[in-house]
Amino acid sequence: MAIPKLKTVAVVGATGAVGEVVLQLLAERNFPVGELRALASARSAGKTVMFAGREIEVQEATPEAFDGVDFAFFAATGSLSKTLAPEVAKRGGIAIDKSSTWRLDEQVPLVVPEINPEALEKHKGIVSCPNCTTIGFVMTLAPIRAIAGVKSVVVTTLQAVSGTGKPGIEELERQDGELLRGEALTTETYPRPIAQNVLPLCESFREDGYSTEEVKLLHETRKILEQPDIDVSMTCVRVPVPVGHSATMLVETETLLSPEAARAALDAFPGVEVVDDPSQNEFPTAYDVAGRDEVLVGRVRKDLGSDKLWMWQVSDNLRKGAATNAIQIAEEMIRRGLK
Ligand SMILES: NC(=O)c1ccc[n+]([C@@H]2O[C@H](COP(=O)([O-])OP(=O)(O)OC[C@H]3O[C@@H](n4cnc5c(N)ncnc54)[C@H](OP(=O)(O)O)[C@@H]3O)[C@@H](O)[C@H]2O)c1
């Protein structure tokens, strides 16, 4: 077996919630890392992060930090991706971006490797990863669409606080502590308390009353599935769960599809696992999926008033929703000889 050529890899946002998981998974998946550069803001320069049992010193993310880099995983801010991802491409490397900055850019592939890996062939040095909610959503739709087509979906998401990165995790932990001590709740990251509460708002509201997170589900799904006429109606909700996004989906197919056939197609799809036995109270939860790469699907059943199908889907927003998908993109590019 040929030994893969070792790559110079940069992780931008190495001190953040997603960056930490990227570092962990690069080691776990035996990604062929030669040199690893951990990058973050000037605030973190000189701190250390762990990679493969070693301490790596964090450097400030500057254009020069990408000299000689093969793959740069961006898990920082959208504005940083906007300025620095082109610097990676200019230097002959590939930027794999987790922010929303490049997702709808026509020149940039938006990729879930199980669904549209061929889009990578057209890359120009920047590849975008879908939003964490979109990934679990399209992973559930793709196998259904393959056998019955999909016309429309109504989806409500229940999104973990780690979807807002470390500030979201810290907000829930701090408010849980305040509740325990009988203190008034303080809010910094979300506009209302998240402890013992659910908020029908992820990110911020637009003028039309939708949240910025909600519209991503529609536009990213259309681009990944290359189906501009698919209808997605959505509400995104933040819940006091540390890790793992859940979603309930009502799917209208082109042709009649039984729950049994849907379950079989879902289970056969790479990266999806069906957990669905109501007689045994078996259904997937965020707690079950935290730390796993698969998208878990259950509660598959026919709608009582139509031929549509209901399903319930959970995925780890930091792994398949972010780090795993990004690393799979790099692995697929190596497999295709694109780097
Ligand atoms: N969390 C999720 O579930 C998830 C899922 C999909 C996509 N994403 C996307 O992934 C990205 C990272 O999210 P996160 O959840 O990991 O956030 P986070 O925990 O807040 O981490 C943010 C990271 O960005 C770095 N950073 C901030 N400003 C910077 C600057 N000016 N220059 C260099 N580095 C800077 C931070 O470094 P310092 O420590 O130095 O400040 C930190 O490492 C975001 O674009 C987010 O939208 C997140």
DSSP string, 253-316: ESS---HHHHHHHHHHSTTEEE--BGGGTB---HHHHTT--SEEEEEEEE-TTSS-EEEEEEE-
The finding on whether 166 has its CB within 6 A of some atom of ligand 1 is yes
pLDDT(19) > 80 = yes
| Structural element, H or E, at residue 145 | helix 132-148
The finding on whether 43 has its CB within 6 A of some atom of ligand 1 is yes
The finding on whether 317 has its CB within 6 A of some atom of ligand 1 is yes
| Mean pLDDT along residues 144-167 | 98
Position 3 scores a pLDDT of: 65
| DSSP tag of 2 | P
* Confidence band, pLDDT 50/70/90 cuts, at residue 131: very high
| 204-218 pLDDT tens trace | 999 999 999 999 999
The rounded distance, in Å, linking the Cα atoms of 237 and 247 is 9
Position 273 scores a pLDDT of: 98
Q: How far is the CA of 74 from the centre of ligand 1 (A)?
A: 8
The rounded distance, in Å, linking the Cα atoms of 145 and 149 is 4
The finding on whether 49 has its CB within 6 A of some atom of ligand 1 is no
Nearest Cα residue to atom 21 of ligand 1: 16
| 73-126 pLDDT tens trace | 999 999 999 999 999 999 999 999 999 999 999 999 999 999 999 999 999 999
| 267-295 pLDDT tens trace | 999 999 999 999 999 999 999 999 999 99
Contact call for residues 329 and 256 (beta carbons, < 8 A): no
202 belongs to the catalytic site? no
* Contact residues for 143 (Cβ-Cβ < 8 A; gap 6+): 265, 266, 268, 269, 272
Q: How far is the CA of 266 from the centre of ligand 1 (A)?
A: 32
Place of tokens 């039309």: 208
| Structural element, H or E, at residue 333 | helix 324-335
Supply angle C-alpha 205, 208, 213, rounded to 5. Answer: 40
The rounded distance, in Å, linking the Cα atoms of 147 and 115 is 14
132 belongs to the catalytic site? yes
| 91-102 pLDDT tens trace | 999 999 999 999
* Contact residues for 173 (Cβ-Cβ < 8 A; gap 6+): none
| 37-59 pLDDT tens trace | 999 999 999 999 999 999 999 99
Hey, where are the domains in the chain? 7-129+322-335, 133-316
Please give the CATH number for the structural domain made up of 7-129+322-335. 3.40.50.720
Fold classification of 133-316 (topology level): Dihydrodipicolinate Reductase; domain 2 (3.30.360)
In the chain, the amino acid numbered 276 is: D
Count of other CB atoms within 10 angstroms of residue 91: 16
